[in-house]
Chain A
Amino acid sequence: MEDLLNAFLLMSNFVFVPAIAYGSQLALGAVGVTLVYGVLRFSNFAHGDTMAFGTMVVILFTWWLQSMGINIGPLPTALLALPFGIIVTAVFLLSSDKLIYRFYREQKAAPVIYLIASVGIMFVLNGVVRFIIGPNDQNFNDGERFIVKARAMKQYLGTAEGVSIKVSQGLTVITAIIVVLALFWFLNKTRTGKSMRAFSDNEDLALLSGISPDKVVAVTWILVAILATVAGTLYGLDKSFKPFTYFQLLLPIFASAIVGGLGNPLGAIAGGFVIAFSEIMITYPYKKFVAYIVPGDWKPEGLVQLLATDYKFAVSFIILVLVLLFRPTGIFAGKSV
């Protein structure tokens, strides 16, 4: 019994807690991608770098606030800087829409043209971020590190294993829940949100009903700015900020959005957790876990790791491929065309 409890705590510490935090970050990112897809009908390749851009602005404001001596006790100062980051990112996205995407909307260009344009924006953002803050790691997490410390938990329970929960992980989950609830309230209850959904379902019908496309598009970009900046900042607090990692997040984010069905926000959230859990569970070495649940002398020799951590991208890719092969519209029906 003792061993089973230890095994459970071990898994919680190294698999469940990190996967829930990572899943929330992916889910926020994937909802952003899915919103752009639903309303503007293209896969936004610049999303990863938008997240990096938003996070960069947050970091800059965090440094400014820190230099002014402002902080919020145990919580990271970045939370205070978040609104500034969102505003700057929203301004950037709205102006990029005005300068670039709007032209193609008026032309009724093919989706692939938007895709290429988003690649161009990705390039520019990449350059801007590296130009301003540099390509290196930035750690901007201050305040308390842990909500629950593994050692304290061990002493309290009297077990060999304990669970530690970082402040950043707790914050991630709470913020993600708040943001997602607010988003769904907005989409389902407000007039603007309803017109957004109508626009996404059937553009022509929505236009006939007098919905202003410019307003819908602008609101979408603002929502994307919120989601991307929050997701990026949480990821940066939890791990660390490095522009290239954010570019690489693009693949798991796309995989999450497609697994859940492109254009379906609820699916994107589920997809985020599916990807995060599989990624972490498949690359976790189960040696200690197995040692707890089997009788003493059966202890395994190797790491009992299904796939090396280096291949975590392969996990999201394989899931993506399986979904494309068997259910191209995603687990929850999204748009197929």
Chain B
Amino acid sequence: MALLLIGVGLFQSWNVSLSILNLCLISAIMALGVNIQWGYAGLFNVGIMGFAALGGLAAVLVAMPPVEGAWSAGGWGAIGGLFLAFISITLAVITYQRMSAGRTRSILIIAICVIGFFITRSVFGPATHAIEDINPAKSGYLGGFGLPIVLSWPVGGVFAGIAAWVIGKITLGLRSDYLAIATLGISEIIIAVLKHEDWMTRGVKNVVGMPRPVPFEINLQTTEWFLNLSSTLGADPIGFSSIFVKICYACLFVTMLLIVLWLSETALKSPWGRMMRAIRDNEVSANAMGKNVTKRHLQVFVLGSVVVGLAGAMLTTLDGQLTPTSYQPLRFTFLIWVMVIVGGSGNNWGAVLGGFVIWFFWIEAEPLGLILMNAITSGMADDNSLKLHLIDSAAHMRLMTMGLILLLVLRFSPRGLLPEK
């Protein structure tokens, strides 16, 4: 793998090679999260995209500076609205649990939901409008807390964990398809919220220029020690500054990857990990031994989602912007799945390897596909419509290739590149 990356560095450029490496590292962490759910417990999560997007949201809320005047205009209204919604749902749940079944209970619950909905709307609507009206071209949202962006990584994990807990509470214990369908749904909804709640995320206007945990290239180029360093290395300071920044990111991400990997390995080898695998391999007998299968599943589902949320926050940090439209299920959910299955489900090292290999090919498949298409069509005339069509659609070959890889590995080598021990 390292050889491949070095090869890209030599043949394309070190800049490309390092940016692939950074995304490989993030993909590896996401794949670890999915491996916790699938490899340890056999849970099929189709909503990875949503949990990663929650991590991105955390990055915005934690790190962006607060917008002048937005809080006084409607910040408390918006928070109060969310709080009221929470109260009405809690009330409805308490009513459901405390009262005995019957028509009175149903009517009461519906009344609580309807009244709660309208009160929430009356507080929430004006507040969000007020926020969105403040300088819509530049801000028009609440902003965040202006804290260091690295803090958003655990926060992203917590956000994803909460969402996972709600979904898991509803669907775990029912048949496995329901978890898959419900996670598919929640991820679509999370993306819809990010796209349309302008007061929180600026919606499709995107949040750009997020703070960084590493220095900016421009600042580096005027710093004395950096100029000295690049002249000792005999490098061009402008090009070197961007490579240096990427190396800084890579160091941060490697540290995170090692921490997550170490934790997952320790967990897998502990009695807890053995119990999880026992449950995965035979739920009935594990249940008979007194293990609460549903509870363990919920636990492991939340843990895995926390890791995915963490990786999502890291990804947004690396991009320096939150673009809700960039969250595509094929890129965020199913690609991660291919990584886990190809790498070797149940084996953490396998997930990491899968993250690296698949991300590398996902990126490099595009130039390779283009070369291939050019080769196939080289005999045709330049204005041949078939040739133009084939070259235009070369990018879609990636999807097909990934699907084929998934199917082939699942069929002929279901244990993956690095099988579980």
Contact A45 B175 (CB under 8 A): no
Give the distance in Å from the alpha carbon of A138 to the alpha carbon of B125 in the complex.
37
Residue B403 is within 8 A (CB to CB) of chain A in the complex: yes
Residue A276 is within 8 A (CB to CB) of chain B in the complex: no
Query: Within residues 162 to 177 of chain B, which ones have a CB less than 8 A from any CB in chain A?
Result: 170-171, 174-177
| Closest residue on chain B to residue A123 by CB atoms | B403
Partner of A120, one of B196, B396, B406: B406
Give the distance in Å from the alpha carbon of A45 to the alpha carbon of B330 in the complex.
13
Give the distance in Å from the alpha carbon of A131 to the alpha carbon of B390 in the complex.
8
Q: How far is the CB of B413 from chain A (nearest CB, A)?
A: 13
Interface centre among B42, B44, B185 (most CB of A within 10 A): B185
Query: Within residues 5 to 59 of chain B, which ones have a CB less than 8 A from any CB in chain A?
Result: 42, 44, 46
Partner of B341, one of A42, A116, A321, A328: A116
Task: List residues of chain B with CB within 8 A of the CB of A111.
Answer: 175-177
Contact A127 B186 (CB under 8 A): no
Task: List residues of chain B with CB within 8 A of the CB of A128.
Answer: 400
Residue B181 is within 8 A (CB to CB) of chain A in the complex: yes
Give the distance in Å from the alpha carbon of A121 to the alpha carbon of B174 in the complex.
25
Residue B240 is within 8 A (CB to CB) of chain A in the complex: no
Contact B189 A116 (CB under 8 A): no
With contact pairs A112-B176, A134-B393 given, residues A317 and B411 touching in the complex (Cβ less than 8 Å): no
Task: List residues of chain A with CB within 8 A of the CB of B393.
Answer: 130-132, 134
Q: Mark B378-421, 1 if CB is under 8 A from A, else 0.
A: 00000000000000110011111111101100110000000000
Give the distance in Å from the alpha carbon of A275 to the alpha carbon of B97 in the complex.
27
Partner of B404, one of A119, A124, A254, A316: A124
Give the distance in Å from the alpha carbon of A37 to the alpha carbon of B398 in the complex.
29
Partner of A258, one of B42, B181, B334: B181
With contact pairs A111-B176, A116-B406, A311-B196 given, residues A317 and B400 touching in the complex (Cβ less than 8 Å): no
Give the distance in Å from the alpha carbon of A120 to the alpha carbon of B406 in the complex.
6
Give the distance in Å from the alpha carbon of A134 to the alpha carbon of B401 in the complex.
17
Task: List residues of chain B with CB within 8 A of the CB of A131.
Answer: 393, 396-397, 400
Query: Within residues 304 to 331 of chain A, which ones have a CB less than 8 A from any CB in chain B?
Result: 306, 308, 310-311, 313-314, 316-317, 320-321, 324-325, 328
Residue A250 is within 8 A (CB to CB) of chain B in the complex: yes
Give the distance in Å from the alpha carbon of A103 to the alpha carbon of B177 in the complex.
20
Q: How many A-B residue pairs have CB under 8 A?
A: 130
Task: List residues of chain A with CB within 8 A of the CB of B178.
Answer: 258, 324, 328
Q: How far is the CB of B213 from chain A (nearest CB, A)?
A: 33
Contact B174 A324 (CB under 8 A): yes
Residue B329 is within 8 A (CB to CB) of chain A in the complex: yes
| Closest residue on chain A to residue B405 by CB atoms | A120
Contact A247 B188 (CB under 8 A): no
Q: Mark A294-311, 1 if CB is under 8 A from B, else 0.
A: 000000001000101011
Q: How far is the CB of A92 from chain B (nearest CB, A)?
A: 14
| Closest residue on chain B to residue A43 by CB atoms | B177
Give the distance in Å from the alpha carbon of A262 to the alpha carbon of B337 in the complex.
25
Contact A42 B177 (CB under 8 A): yes
Task: List residues of chain B with CB within 8 A of the CB of A130.
Answer: 393, 396, 399
Partner of A314, one of B170, B189, B337: B189
Q: Mark A236-250, 1 if CB is under 8 A from B, else 0.
A: 000000000001101
Q: Mark A23-53, 1 if CB is under 8 A from B, else 0.
A: 0000000000000010000110100000000
- Between-chain CB contacts (< 8 Å), 14 pairs: A43-B180, A43-B181, A115-B176, A117-B410, A119-B337, A122-B403, A130-B393, A131-B393, A254-B181, A258-B181, A310-B196, A311-B192, A313-B189, A328-B174
Which 10 A-B pairs give the minimum distances between C-beta atoms?
A: A123-B403, A127-B400, A127-B399, A124-B403, A317-B185, A130-B396, A120-B406, A120-B407, A43-B177, A310-B196
